[in-house]
Chain A
């Protein structure tokens, strides 16, 4: 993994807030270095001007040797798909979400849009595919249909693209969805640190309320009632979110052991620029742990009460992740 100094990380943060977070690290640093005398001008055109201005002040404090409480964040590049790649040991999926080292900063949504464009012979943009991709891996079928239409060549191209580019993630999502338990009031499983995730099954119930005292006017009251449901689509999202919760906990523990302070916004990790090498390495190490584990099998067995064996697509994914550079970006 490429490493940087604290001041270089401030430059990276400035470039990110300017809107260049899809460039390579070197290109981001180079952009700011080239424009170092024009930071005030850049600020007015930045995608996030307030955060850019803050990074600019931190840069000036750093070069003037003034201490600062400044923190910056780096975000996972499609954390849900990264987690699924590791759970299933899928090198193809891993490569698309910056868990290989292609030398580039991969953008999975752009790649999906480009590939779909070729199949359907029409230009699609990453904005068109981002939401359908994200929600597909959380079990939604409606969202892709809303975006591309029912039984359309676009929808077919969408699923073909996902199956070819992200096969492990698709398989992982389907494995999780199949474990829905139709007779239970809650699904429960344990994360590697012993933390218990418990998700009640809630069904929507609509009931007409008649008000005698208001000339028998009526309205419909909607409530969520805890009863078993024959089918459910939420298991994949909930399992993946429970794992991203565990990843966050591991990052907080590692940071504390290494003597720095870390704030988290789910898959976005915030610390002093001096510690961003640790932040990136720790995150990658935790994903490698998942790739080396039988975490998916363990969770699905606990949910179903079975002792099934889940065959991963590979057992050596972590070795190909050693030099991943943009797991956080």
Chain B
């Protein structure tokens, strides 16, 4: 493995979900959430050992089959405490349901909603009734807050930056180009299939070496949407800060990088990435140069 591949592996590990969970868990432990975690554990145990009507007993049996209560509490904390503002219960329940492995999505969402209601009694977060909420629907609002450093870290690691070494050649529909990440070449959770996808074009595109345009970095990145609330301003600033960090890292690493590309279900092609991506705002488009320079001809 050469130096750039080794660096790339380090970057991918830093951005991995496992690592992010550990950082959040560390922050939660530092914040002395032990009693909150213990009372959540007790509430969940009481819930899963209860006896209800037949279909609910069945759902809870399904839940118990793969349940690790400690992980479940971490997931609930990530979903609720790591949010800066109130969120609809639908959103929180959907995210939690994704971790519960139910075959029927409505069973998953219903069970997740019940779990949220159970843990709410520990005062980790409030569930605001539809009558009392500004949106007219059930909302969840955390009573705790992660540190600003951790919130910035979560923002910074949401999306992998472009690769600093040439991506791995794609040979089947379950590869990404990244060294440690295997995922479908087709975007969208349920769109993967094994029929022929034109990997030759993804391989050609991902081999184009690119550079940041340093002069464009002197311009200010502005929001396309109006920043009319303090939350929107702080969210946008976090994105700008994390983007600037990615730009700085790419420059330090030699200012040569590669996009990975994916198809949608129809075969439209999308460059991957959030902080650096040509399929983005004018500012981000202007940031992209070819690494290979040309003398422009003519008069």
Contact = CB atoms under 8 A, between A and B. Distances in A.
Interface of A: 4-8, 10, 48, 50-51, 53-54, 57-58, 61-62, 65-71, 73, 188, 191, 193-200, 207, 209-214, 217, 219, 221-223, 226, 238, 241-242, 244-246, 248-249, 252-253, 256, 261, 263-266, 270, 272-274
A61 B297 CA distance: 11
B79 interface: no
9 contacts: A67-B294, A69-B211, A69-B213, A71-B288, A221-B106, A249-B201, A253-B201, A261-B290, A263-B208
Given A252-B201, A265-B278, A273 B296 contact: yes
Given A198-B191, A199-B265, A213-B117, 4 more contacts: A7-B297, A69-B213, A195-B267, A197-B265
Nearest to B215: A57
Interface in B83-137: 89-90, 93-94, 105-106, 109-110, 113-114, 117-118, 120, 127, 129-130, 137
Residue among A50, A219, A270 with the most chain B CB within 10 A?
A50
Interface stretch (B19-27, B151-159, B279-287): B279-287
B93 A217 contact: no
Contacts of B93: 209, 221
Interface residues of B, number: 64
B266 A214 contact: no
A311 B208 CA distance: 42
Interface in B241-299: 263-269, 271, 278-279, 282-283, 285-286, 288-299
A187 B47 CA distance: 44
A5 B129 CA distance: 66
B183 interface: no
Contact of A211 (B113, B137, B264, B268): B113
Contact of B196 (A195, A221, A273): A195
B174 interface: no
B195 interface: yes
Interface of B: 47, 52, 56, 89-90, 93-94, 105-106, 109-110, 113-114, 117-118, 120, 127, 129-130, 137-138, 190-191, 193, 195-198, 200-201, 204-205, 208, 211, 213, 215-216, 219, 263-269, 271, 278-279, 282-283, 285-286, 288-299
A198 B118 contact: no
Contacts of B56: 212
B266 A196 contact: no
B278 A263 contact: yes
Contact of A196 (B190, B193, B297): B193
Contacts of B288: 71, 263, 270
Given A193-B198, A245-B269, A265-B279, A50 B286 contact: yes
A263 B215 CA distance: 21
Would you list the 5 A-B pairs with minimal beta carbon distance, nearest first?
A5-B298, A69-B289, A245-B267, A62-B296, A67-B293
A68 B296 contact: yes
B86 to A, nearest CB: 14
Given A48-B282, A241-B266, A8 B298 contact: yes
Contact of B198 (A71, A238, A249, A270): A249
Contact of A252 (B90, B204, B286, B292): B204
Contacts of A209: 93, 106, 109-110, 113
A54 B213 contact: yes
Contact of A219 (B137, B265, B299): B137
Given A213-B114, A274-B294, A219 B266 contact: no
Given A5-B297, A57-B215, A221 B109 contact: yes
B193 A50 contact: no
B298 A7 contact: yes
Nearest to B277: A265
A253 B193 contact: no
B282 A69 contact: no
Contact of B90 (A57, A221, A270): A221
Contacts of B216: 50, 53-54
Contacts of A213: 47, 114, 117-118
Among A53, A62, A245, the most chain B Cβ lie within 10 Å of the Cβ of A245
A209 B106 CA distance: 8
Nearest to A10: B296
Contacts of B263: 195, 245
Contacts of A223: 105-106, 109
Contacts of A194: 196, 198
Contacts of A58: 296
